[in-house]
Structure 1
Amino acid sequence: MPRPSPARAKSATSSRGQTHTIRIIGGDWKRTPLPVIDLDGLRPTPDRVRETLFNWLGQRLDGQRCLDLFAGSGALGFEAASRGASRVLMVERHARAAAQLRANQAKLAASAIEVAEADALRLAASLAPGSFDVVFLDPPFGEDLLGRALELAVPLVAPDGFLYVESGESLDAAANPALEAWSVVRQGKAGAVHYHLLQRENEE
């Protein structure tokens, strides 16, 4: 698995072997720092990318249901909860990372957040279709998981919902069978990270 890129490492800056921190950008817990474990391949979404994403989503997510399928640091899920999401399911397979997510959840007394220590693909396959308004999809870049993750994540998004994808290369929705009837409505690039917001196309 590749080492974190410089752009993403800026959100977790301390020497190897120590606890890093991320900072919530907006909402109820704005400017709150949260510890992140030092783990190979863990790439907290950079501050400027999160700020852009939640501008795209309209700043507040009041009452919305969110899935952070490869939670890692939890940067996206905690940001969503801070901005009013009614439910945030964070899925993380690594025991130490999941434990840190639970510790941060307790620190914030974040009742809307649920942490599941599980394989993301297996858990996604068991979830009800259309059960989330926003799905955050940021699989490890070096494990060739994106294709299968998209297949499983797309049905979970509610009809008017959004799918957010981070990847190591630009995402071509038209060339991806899992994204038939979807389009990239916004996209950007920060260092080696490409990020995309997708929504179902209007069928009229």
Structure 2
Amino acid sequence: MSRKRTQSTKSRQPAGRRPGQTNRLRIIGGEHRGRQLVFPDSQGLRPTSDRTRETLFNWLQPMLPGAACLDLFAGSGALGFEAASRGAGRVTLLEQNPKVFHRLQENQQLLRLNQLAIQQGDALSWLEQPAVAFDIVFLDPPFADHLLTECCQKLDQNGWLASDPRIYLEWDLKGPSPELPANWRPLKQKKAGQVVYALYTRSADNG
């Protein structure tokens, strides 16, 4: 089935990357600022860039302390670990790839981030379970799988979003834009190379 191929790793891979090379990301703010974390080499796996993360977390900082966050396609963990370092109260990371999942667990233990909950599973299936509301959701799925539209619908309809949420999306500039729920409205949007990244909220009026 096609869903079984859904991967929580990113669909973009740096030029020149060879299997077996060590990958590192740097936490750029908060309690663990400057700490470097290793993540495994996996096809398509790449963290959101430092510059994009800096912009994103400047957008989010007013509501981030104590917030409940969901990183639905965790990959390297760049967004989830950054949120925890900057004071999020609860951060759930979902990752399908077993190797990447275990590295996320090791990095959590290294930084002693007790507010992190790291789970392994397919994102679309995971969103069918009984929901717990999140204040902030990060959505950076593999571009080639075109998962944003369906994920956003499930988040909106199945009770995963708090009353005044922030939903962060990334998609390929050359690909189709996601079809978002009618009650979502954009707050911020920028481009970085061939990537569009944007922040949305949901209006209280579902109509």
After TM superposition, the score normalised by the length of structure 1 is 0.87
Deviation of residue 110 (structure 1)?
0.6
CA contact under 8 A between 1:5 and 1:191: conserved in structure 2? no
- Structure 1's unaligned 5+ residue stretches are none
* Inter-partner Cα distance in structure 2 for 1:136 and 1:183: 16
| TM-align CA RMSD | 2.3
Matching residue within 44, 49, 52 for 1:49: 52
CA contact under 8 A between 1:59 and 1:83: conserved in structure 2? no
- Structure 2's unaligned 5+ residue stretches are 1-6
**2:206 aligned with 1:201:** no
CA contact under 8 A between 2:47 and 2:75: conserved in structure 1? yes
CA contact under 8 A between 1:128 and 1:156: conserved in structure 2? yes
**2:162 aligned with 1:158:** yes
CA contact under 8 A between 1:135 and 1:162: conserved in structure 2? yes
**Partner letter of residue 36 of structure 1?**
F
Matching residue within 76, 96, 99 for 1:96: 99
* Inter-partner Cα distance in structure 1 for 2:201 and 2:11: 30
CA contact under 8 A between 1:135 and 1:153: conserved in structure 2? no
* Inter-partner Cα distance in structure 1 for 2:57 and 2:127: 23
**Partner letter of residue 116 of structure 1?**
Q
**Partner letter of residue 110 of structure 1?**
L
- Percent identity reads 43
**Partner letter of residue 24 of structure 1?**
I
Deviation of residue 127 (structure 1)?
3.9
CA contact under 8 A between 1:171 and 1:196: conserved in structure 2? no
CA contact under 8 A between 2:185 and 2:202: conserved in structure 1? yes
**Partner letter of residue 21 of structure 1?**
R
After TM superposition, the score normalised by the length of structure 2 is 0.85
CA contact under 8 A between 2:163 and 2:204: conserved in structure 1? no
Change (3 A) 1:172 1:108: same
CA contact under 8 A between 1:60 and 1:84: conserved in structure 2? no
* Inter-partner Cα distance in structure 2 for 1:202 and 1:59: 20
**Partner letter of residue 89 of structure 1?**
T
| Residues matched between the structures, number | 194
Q: Where in structure 2 are the equivalents of 1:86-165 lying within 5 Å?
A: 86-128=89-131, 131-154=133-156, 155-165=159-169
Q: Please say which of residues 178-187 and 65-74 is displaced more in the overlay.
A: 178-187
CA contact under 8 A between 2:19 and 2:42: conserved in structure 1? no
